[in-house]
A and B are shown apart, each in its own frame.
Chain A
Amino acid sequence: MVQPEVRLVAVVASKHGLHARPAIQLAETAQRFVSTIQIVKDDTAVDGKSVLQLLTLLAEKGTPLLVVARGKDADAAAAAIVGIIETEETTTNP
């Protein structure tokens, strides 16, 4: 059976970019889903469940990221990940 695949684009909203805290939050959220989750910036795709890989994206504020979720909970997973990428931050400390 073909696994469902969901692709959504999200723009990094944090003024600090996708730094440690959102990367950790994103990976922790991704790990709760059975779907595989890839985050794609330009032609680089990384595992959304790996904090280290996410930090190498160098995704600054305003960067569009493609979220690709594959698996039976792909819909919910992609929506949750997009929510994190598009959350603005109110704290001043990264």
Chain B
Amino acid sequence: MKFSEFISSKSIKVNMVSEGKTEAVAELVQGLVDAGSLDAAQKDGIIQAVMNREELGSTGIGRGVAVPHTKHSSVKEIVGTVGVSKSGIDFRSLDGDKVNLFFMLISPPDRPSDHLRALENIAKQLQNESFCGFLKQAKSVEDVVQLLNEADENHFGS
């Protein structure tokens, strides 16, 4: 599943201000609410659901990347955002490193295969060190959107 099919460009954050884990999740969810991708009335419930998922095991998968996610009945199709933190956020990752790059996914409960396909694309692209490196250095939302488009067009191989 291409980034353009699930990442809400307007919600992307390139200079995350959060320092803690819950704060970071809230900042990403707020971005999706502001972009109109999530219902504002559901915001607190979605943040809680993402944090409940994190309690089952951190989605900080190492190399400065985390994929916080949840299912939520308020969304009809999968929505996602990207967050970049220059200083890094302690997300209790597997390797203990701070997280600079977030891919958040909120999926409808009845579409497990879309969730898996979105994760597959994120994982595939993140294995490319150029893609990962350029994203971490992105200075504007436009930079991120351009990188995601280039990834969708297979500019990063694989």
Q: Residues of A at under 8 Å CB distance from B? A: 15-21, 24-25, 28, 51-58, 60-61, 91-94
Contacts and interface: CB of A to CB of B under 8 A. Distances in A.
Main SS at interface, chain A: loop
Contacts of B70: 93-94
Given A17-B112, A20-B59, A51-B61, 8 more contacts: A16-B112, A20-B67, A55-B119, A57-B120, A61-B112, A93-B52, A93-B71, A94-B71
A16 B123 contact: no
A38 to B, nearest CB: 16
Contacts of A60: 112-113, 116
Given A20-B67, A25-B57, A51-B61, A56 B124 contact: yes
Interface of B: 49, 52-53, 56-57, 59, 61-63, 67, 69-71, 94, 107, 109, 112-113, 115-117, 119-120, 122-124, 126-127
Nearest to B58: A24
A53 B112 contact: no
Contact of A19 (B49, B62, B63, B115): B115
A19 B120 CA distance: 9
Contacts of A21: 56-57
A17 B115 CA distance: 10
B112 A94 contact: yes
Interface centre among A15, A17, A20 (most CB of B within 10 A): A20
Contacts of A16: 112, 115-116
